[in-house]
Structure 1
Amino acid sequence: MHNFLPIAYFKNQFVPFAEANLSIATHALHYGTGAFGGLRGIPDPKNANQILLFRLDRHCQRLSNSAKLINYELPADKIQAIITEFVRKNKPDQSFYIRPFVYTSGLGIAPRLHNIEKDFFVYGLELGDYLSADGVTCRISSWCRQEDRSLPLRGKISGAYITSSLAKTEAVESGFDEAILLNTQSKVSEASGMNIFLIRNGELITPGYEQDILEGITRDSILTLARNLGIKTVERPVDKSELFIADEVFLSGTAAKITPVKKIETYPMPETHPITDRLKAKLTAITENLEPDYRDWVFPIALQ
């Protein structure tokens, strides 16, 4: 059961969430011609009249870039202004998630991106832990991550998430929590909606952009944070078998935050994960605006 925030942004105005409805003939519903973002917010632990959003500017820029991929010009500063007002109108009092979405809003039946109306909406819902904070089990999916030559993977294109959905359901119905997808070169790409990291001999390793991954904002934050903590980081191709012998493996994303992996296929991961825990604690403190060196990552919104 989802607890949606009461106000949505829809058709260029703020309306009650229950009134933000689409036609069954909406083009994006049939062809996956949309793109979405996702960002978290929390009430400021030190100021009851303030909300904190994590890396709002980066999320708005990525959505603006995603919109370009469906032939829609939507400036990042406009997205940011709407999300800011959206938060002020909803006044959330606990951890929440914002879903902005750009899409082909016309009612035509031809698959295309030209000569068709586009639009933008925003809604939100209360959200705690997306995955178990204690860790998850993973299987290697039989489904393959798409290639950038067949789909623009630099954006969060809604149609692409059929593969994520297939992989997630396959994993859960076979007794696991999450799926790890390989790319067409049989290298590790990402999870169903998260980037993946492993640690070997004190080194933080993650697949690079050339491995058909999403340009994750949490991923970027972790790499920056690790380097600042003196942890060596490497972005390179990763083999499936390397996951089985890693010292630590974790998933990262806006919803998942940092989630340790307990088992991959039949291979248990070590029960302790000191680097994962260190990064998670630091990132949590940053999102709560408790780390002065990272204040520019946190966007405060005054409610009064």
Structure 2
Amino acid sequence: MHSFLPLAYFKNQFVPFEQANLSIATHALHYGTGAFGGLRGIPNPENPDQVLLFRLDRHCQRLSHSAKFLMFDLPANKIQAVITDFVKKNRPKTSFYIRPFIYTSDLGIAPRLHNIEKDFFVYGLELGDYLSPDGVNCRFSSWYRQEDRSLPLRGKISGAYITSSLAKTEAVESGFDEAILLNTQGKVSEASGMNVFIVRNGELITPGCDQDILEGITRDSILTIAKDLDIKVTERPVDKTELYIADEVFLSGTAAKITPVKRIETYTLSEERPITDKLREKLTAITENQDPKYKDWVFAISV
């Protein structure tokens, strides 16, 4: 059972979470015409009167871009102001996750984006580890990642996540923790809701933005951190077989943070993960506001 934060932002006001309800006729519920974001927050380990949000500005910018695909003008600074107020009013005391959501809020039945009302809400829940920090076992999904020519993959469009849901359930029901999806060209794309990284011969490799991936904010952060640590970084197409023989494989995302992969189908990977461990340690320090070099990535909100 999830523990939700007490207040939600709904229809331009803050209301108790239990009162933030939608009609069963809501357009977005039927057609997947919504877009969402997700960001983590933690109480400041050094100041109990502050909450730290990781890369708030980038998350708001991406959600604003997602809104454009739904023909909705929602500026990033508006989203950021609402999320800041949301945190101040809820005063969370433990690690939590914020879910802002844009959707077609009319009660019509025609699938469309023109001449239809849109709205925006925010809620949150307490959240620890989404995946086991000790590592996960993965399989390749029988479902393929969508193509950008059929869906705007640079937005977190809610309807697109049917594929993620099918892949995740297929993985879990067949004895694995997580799914890795190939794109329609047969190259590694991403996991059900995470980007994929591999390490080979000391080089950090990840599918590029031309491989039908979501442009992950944690992914972007890892690329920057790795370059700053003088780790060679390459963005390129990745073959399925490379994961079987990689020195290290890990998944990244807002919820997953950096999660090592222990096994790919029947192939067991090394328990020695020096680059994964180094990146995870650095990312944790940054999110806890312990690294002055990345201070501008962390937003401290007084509560």
TM-score bracket, normalised by the shorter chain, equals over 0.9
Question: Which residue does 1:47 correspond to in 2?
Answer: 47
Question: Which residue does 2:131 correspond to in 1?
Answer: 131
Question: Which residue does 2:294 correspond to in 1?
Answer: 294
RMSD in angstroms over aligned alpha carbons? 0.2
The residue type equivalent to 1:181 in the other structure is L
| Structure 1 stretches lacking a partner, 5+ long | none
Question: Which residue does 1:87 correspond to in 2?
Answer: 87
Output the TM-score relative to the length of structure 1: 1.00
Per-residue deviation, 1:271: 1.0
The residue type equivalent to 1:43 in the other structure is P
Look up the SS of the partner of 1:130 in the other structure: coil
Question: Which residue does 1:121 correspond to in 2?
Answer: 121
Look up the SS of the partner of 1:82 in the other structure: helix
Question: Which residue does 1:7 correspond to in 2?
Answer: 7
Q: How many pairs does the alignment contain? A: 303
Per-residue deviation, 1:100: 0.1
Per-residue deviation, 1:272: 1.1
2:154 & 2:290 partners in 1: Cα distance? 31
2:31 & 2:277 partners in 1: Cα distance? 41
Q: Percent identity?
A: 81
1:21 & 1:93 partners in 2: Cα distance? 25
Q: Would you say 1:34 and 2:46 are equivalent positions?
A: no
What do the CA deviations read for 1:139-164 (whole angstroms, capped 9, x no partner)? Answer: 00000000000000000000000000
Question: Which residue does 1:189 correspond to in 2?
Answer: 189
Question: Which residue does 1:225 correspond to in 2?
Answer: 225
Per-residue deviation, 1:291: 0.1
Look up the SS of the partner of 2:262 in the other structure: strand
Output the TM-score relative to the length of structure 2: 1.00
The residue type equivalent to 1:3 in the other structure is S
What do the CA deviations read for 1:242-299 (whole angstroms, capped 9, x no partner)? Answer: 0000000000000000000000010001011010000000000000000000000000
2:117 & 2:244 partners in 1: Cα distance? 48
2:169 & 2:176 partners in 1: Cα distance? 9
Look up the SS of the partner of 2:210 in the other structure: helix
**Matches for 1:201-280 after TM superposition, within 5 Å:** 201-280=201-280
What do the CA deviations read for 1:198-243 (whole angstroms, capped 9, x no partner)? Answer: 0000000000000000000000000000000000000000000000
Per-residue deviation, 1:65: 0.1
| Structure 2 stretches lacking a partner, 5+ long | none
The residue type equivalent to 1:233 in the other structure is V
What do the CA deviations read for 1:162-203 (whole angstroms, capped 9, x no partner)? Answer: 000000000000000000000000000000000000000000
The residue type equivalent to 1:27 in the other structure is H
Per-residue deviation, 1:134: 0.1
The residue type equivalent to 1:104 in the other structure is T
